[in-house]
Chains A and B, each alone.
Chain A
Amino acid sequence: MQHSDKTVGGTHASASLAEADRLMTVCNSCRYCEGLCAVFPAMEMRRSFADGDLDYLANLCHACGACFIDCQFSPPHEFNVNVPKVLADVRADSYATYAWPQFLAPAFKRNGLAISLTCLFCIVVSLGYLVVITDASAIFAVHQGPGAFYALMPHNSMALMFGLAFAYAILAITLSARNFWRAIGPPPDASKAAPSIWQAMGDAGRLRYLDGGGAGCELPPGKPDRRRLFHHLTFYGFMLCFAATSVGTLYHYLLAREAPYPWYDLPVVLGTLGGVGLLIGPLGLLSQRTTRDMAVRPQNYNGMDTAFVLMLFLTSATGFAVLLLRATPALGITLIVHLGVVMALFLTLPYGKFVHGIYRFLALVRSAQERSGH
């Protein structure tokens, strides 16, 4: 048996982690919230909370807010218990803590600025590429028929550049996620890995833990929480766009069919449906942020949430612009902007809010493992 002599708020890497430790000690003595989500049952399996444990719990939290309005010790009570806010702070910090490579971690600190600058840079490079490599006059010419896009940028260069950017994003996210997975400690029983992943996919795909155990969380009361709807639109919109790109790539290499495709063809249909999701979802998420109670919002707000959803929105909006303007002289400049935005999205995936999905998924896997091994 381990005997921790630890007092409340022991040694932690940050003030937020120390506060999270204090709160988990309060909550572990109460446990009234254990039916609300996965965080509190996971907490109950521990008696002391190291930084890795707290990062795990923070990423398991979906910020529904129910435990805040249900808590008899929330402010103005002197115990000052605000779990959603403090775990949001810890969660935001955890993305930087585990980021690979570490010298890019500061991108999380001023995330809105970092992502805006990257986006601008990518558009300029995209424009510069066309000006330098291609004939500048081609930008404002009208291009039609199969391969029209590739008159502006040869398909192979496009595929190479975006393939590299995407591969880098995957690599960086994988290595960051590995850091996180190692920090939250070994799973209780590795043999439960497969069913746990399946369980976590269901939990994540439905946003099971965003509804306070079924009671929902209107915060302030009377303001319905529509974040699940908007998140589904965003997430599934993103997945449909991803599918559209994948199908397009297969068309190109397997069937030798070149973009642009007619509106009824699979890549366009998938992309259009997904794009609509990515227009409504991000705007909806932003609107929910303005109505949600400030009390549960993270303190170290750094534009991260806004930057990511705006990037998704811009990706979709510029994609639609390409679709609408593809038969006009505006195609060139529209395509430049779209490609720049998409490039920036890829490059910043590992250093923005996108990683919340990866970390939360891993936390859900761990939670499923713990429950089945318990």
Chain B
Amino acid sequence: MAASMADLQRNHDVLVVGGGNAALCAAIAARRGGASVLVVEAAPEFYRGGNTRHTRNMRCAHDAATATLSGPYSEDEFWNDLLLVTGGQTNEQLARMMIAQSKEMLVWIAEQGVKFQPSLGGTLSLGRTNSFFLGGGRAMLNALYQTAEKLGVKVVYDAEVTALDAPGGHFNAATIEHAGTAHRVTAKALVAASGGFESNIDWLRESWGPAADNFLIRGTRYNRGTVLKMLLAGGVEPIGDATQCHAVAIDARAPKFDGGIITRLDCIPFGIVVNKHAQRFYDEGEEVWPKRYAIWGRLVAAQPDQIGYIIFDAPKLELFMPSLYPAIAAGSIAELAGKLDLDAEALGVTVTAFNSAVRPGSFDAQILDDCRTEGLTPPKSHWAQRIEQAPFYAYPVRPGITFTYLGTRVNGQARMLMQGGGPSDNMFAAGEIMAGNVLGRGYAAGIGMTIGSVFGRIAGHEAAKRAAL
């Protein structure tokens, strides 16, 4: 049932701020724990769910293959993967606890109505480690919302928290703007599951300067980090690098917000990438694509005007997953430069220099092959083949921001930790807003959902216990 204005005027045991996987897991766990729960989601109903609406799977440890997972994935292996992607920037105690609890999440999430499917098609490499939601992240959200509302959780959309009354780490009330009115909502416990600040361009500008204006945001415009900012200002201890965000190279023609998965480009290993001066700036064939996918957003962000162009030729067009916008095509490199507004001579020189540096080799897109350049700076270490067969193609790329790393520090009960003090007595955090505790940098597919579900359930459980005191 849709919640009404009256729900904003009533007292609740637990107030959950946010509307994604972590928020819903917290709301369901708190409700199942006997608490009355109000969920306030800043986005309109269609855009509910933060970044969850663009996810597809979650990474959980498991001891044996299942109907939808092709083999076991031990806790130790999960931990090693996490160590690898974070370079050690993780809280081992929290991370190991999360990984241990991820095992039962597979069952718990399914019990909340979420359906899994085996991984298919282009995602087979994740078929052993990651559980795929049937129909994707929005289908997962639909199931969680349906379950939550059946249990009696109240949900209000278009409801943004504009102020917190939480002196010294004790939550009293939140001011919530809804339909042009400010409501003061009191609750015995708060779960902040309202994500990071990737859609807040002003905030991004604080770290990135004017370059941030050229960033595209992969999720909705509602991931503004309002609550995160208020919590940190209110004395909650921060965690994670405030200047860092997960950024991939996405099609520059994508909309400013919410282009999602379909604007990403997987063709960088098959061509060269130049900046607006038609100069190459990084080894396009350094590693297999899944391991380099997430560095290109930052690389492009460092280029003038935050724009890059992937250039390749005819034989490569169908070697990668299709994406939303068609490649820009031309009969010659000079014509392509014209279409991209690049200096034709400069692009010609770059392509010629690249072509003459390419050594013979046997091309194999599936492995680190022996096709490389010699005497070129920067080099292209693998899959380097001459760009010589018309038509020539290009994709313009810009940094696509997925999420930010700055968050609130928490303990094993998902309780926020205060600067210079102990744990908050009734404020909890789950999901992207505290992901930095576990994921200080980097990313591994599906781990954001693991963090959201595991800490969401813990936060909801603990908040209900706190409310019952």
Chain A residues 172 to 228 lying within 8 A of chain B, measured CB to CB, are 212-215, 221
Among residues of A, the one whose C-beta sits closest to the C-beta of B264 is: A29
How close is A349's CB to chain B, nearest CB, in angstroms? 36
How close is B396's CB to chain A, nearest CB, in angstroms? 15
- For residue A286, CB closer than 8 A to chain B, the reply is no
- For residue A157, CB closer than 8 A to chain B, the reply is no
| Complex Cα–Cα for A66 and B261 (A) | 19
Chain A residues 53 to 104 lying within 8 A of chain B, measured CB to CB, are 66-67, 69-73, 76-79
Residues of B with C-beta under 8 A to A72: 53-54, 136-138, 258, 260
| Complex Cα–Cα for A3 and B331 (A) | 13
Residues of A with C-beta under 8 A to B263: 29
- For residue B122, CB closer than 8 A to chain A, the reply is yes
Whether A8 touches B314, Cβ cut-off 8 Å, given contacts A29-B262, A214-B134, is no
**What are the interface flags for B38-67 relative to A under an 8 Å C-beta threshold, 1 for contact and 0 otherwise?**
000000001000000110100000000000
| Complex Cα–Cα for A7 and B258 (A) | 22
Chain A residues 1 to 51 lying within 8 A of chain B, measured CB to CB, are 1, 3, 5-8, 25-26, 28-36, 41, 44, 47
The answer to whether B255 touches A78 (Cβ under 8 A) is yes
Most interface-central of B115, B262, B326, B329 (chain A CB within 10 A): B262
Among residues of A, the one whose C-beta sits closest to the C-beta of B315 is: A1
The answer to whether A3 touches B391 (Cβ under 8 A) is yes
How close is A70's CB to chain B, nearest CB, in angstroms? 3
8 Å CB contact of A221 from B142, B326, B391: B142
| Complex Cα–Cα for A355 and B134 (A) | 31
The answer to whether A76 touches B262 (Cβ under 8 A) is no
Among residues of A, the one whose C-beta sits closest to the C-beta of B263 is: A29
8 Å CB contact of A29 from B118, B134, B324: B324
The answer to whether A8 touches B325 (Cβ under 8 A) is yes
Most interface-central of B135, B136, B146 (chain A CB within 10 A): B135
Residues of A with C-beta under 8 A to B262: 26, 29-30, 73, 79
The answer to whether A70 touches B121 (Cβ under 8 A) is no
The answer to whether A28 touches B326 (Cβ under 8 A) is no
The answer to whether B142 touches A70 (Cβ under 8 A) is yes
The answer to whether A3 touches B324 (Cβ under 8 A) is no
Interface size on A, residues (CB 8 A): 36
Chain B residues 245 to 280 lying within 8 A of chain A, measured CB to CB, are 255, 258, 260-263
How close is B240's CB to chain A, nearest CB, in angstroms? 26
Among residues of A, the one whose C-beta sits closest to the C-beta of B324 is: A29
The answer to whether B326 touches A8 (Cβ under 8 A) is yes
Whether A35 touches B120, Cβ cut-off 8 Å, given contacts A7-B326, A29-B322, is yes
The answer to whether A5 touches B115 (Cβ under 8 A) is no
How close is B369's CB to chain A, nearest CB, in angstroms? 19
The answer to whether B324 touches A25 (Cβ under 8 A) is yes
The answer to whether B261 touches A30 (Cβ under 8 A) is yes
| Complex Cα–Cα for A26 and B261 (A) | 10
The answer to whether A70 touches B324 (Cβ under 8 A) is no
| Complex Cα–Cα for A7 and B328 (A) | 9
Among residues of B, the one whose C-beta sits closest to the C-beta of A77 is: B258
The answer to whether B329 touches A5 (Cβ under 8 A) is yes
Residues of A with C-beta under 8 A to B334: none
The answer to whether A1 touches B326 (Cβ under 8 A) is no
How close is A20's CB to chain B, nearest CB, in angstroms? 16
**What are the interface flags for B321-337 relative to A under an 8 Å C-beta threshold, 1 for contact and 0 otherwise?**
11111100100000000
The answer to whether B138 touches A5 (Cβ under 8 A) is no
The answer to whether A32 touches B318 (Cβ under 8 A) is no
The answer to whether B391 touches A5 (Cβ under 8 A) is yes
Among residues of A, the one whose C-beta sits closest to the C-beta of B133 is: A32
Whether A69 touches B46, Cβ cut-off 8 Å, given contacts A5-B391, A7-B326, is no
The answer to whether B137 touches A213 (Cβ under 8 A) is no
Residues of B with C-beta under 8 A to A212: 134-135
The answer to whether B46 touches A32 (Cβ under 8 A) is no
The answer to whether A69 touches B142 (Cβ under 8 A) is yes
How close is B154's CB to chain A, nearest CB, in angstroms? 17
The answer to whether B142 touches A35 (Cβ under 8 A) is no
Chain B residues 290 to 346 lying within 8 A of chain A, measured CB to CB, are 314-315, 317-318, 321-326, 329
The answer to whether B135 touches A221 (Cβ under 8 A) is no
- For residue B200, CB closer than 8 A to chain A, the reply is no
How close is B151's CB to chain A, nearest CB, in angstroms? 15
How close is B379's CB to chain A, nearest CB, in angstroms? 28
| Complex Cα–Cα for A71 and B135 (A) | 8
Residues of B with C-beta under 8 A to A35: 117-118, 120, 132, 134-135
Among residues of A, the one whose C-beta sits closest to the C-beta of B135 is: A70
- For residue B444, CB closer than 8 A to chain A, the reply is no
How close is A305's CB to chain B, nearest CB, in angstroms? 26
Chain B residues 221 to 265 lying within 8 A of chain A, measured CB to CB, are 255, 258, 260-263
The answer to whether A32 touches B255 (Cβ under 8 A) is no
| Complex Cα–Cα for A26 and B56 (A) | 16
Whether A33 touches B322, Cβ cut-off 8 Å, given contacts A1-B315, A77-B46, A221-B142, is no
The 5 closest A-B CB pairs, nearest first, are: A32-B136, A70-B135, A35-B117, A29-B262, A70-B139
5 further contact pairs, Cβ within 8 A, besides A3-B314, A72-B53, A212-B134 = A32-B137, A70-B142, A72-B136, A77-B258, A214-B134
A-B contact pairs, 22 of them (CB 8 A): A1-B317, A3-B317, A8-B326, A26-B262, A29-B263, A30-B261, A31-B122, A32-B137, A35-B117, A36-B135, A41-B121, A69-B142, A70-B135, A72-B54, A72-B137, A76-B46, A77-B258, A212-B134, A213-B117, A213-B134, A214-B134, A215-B139
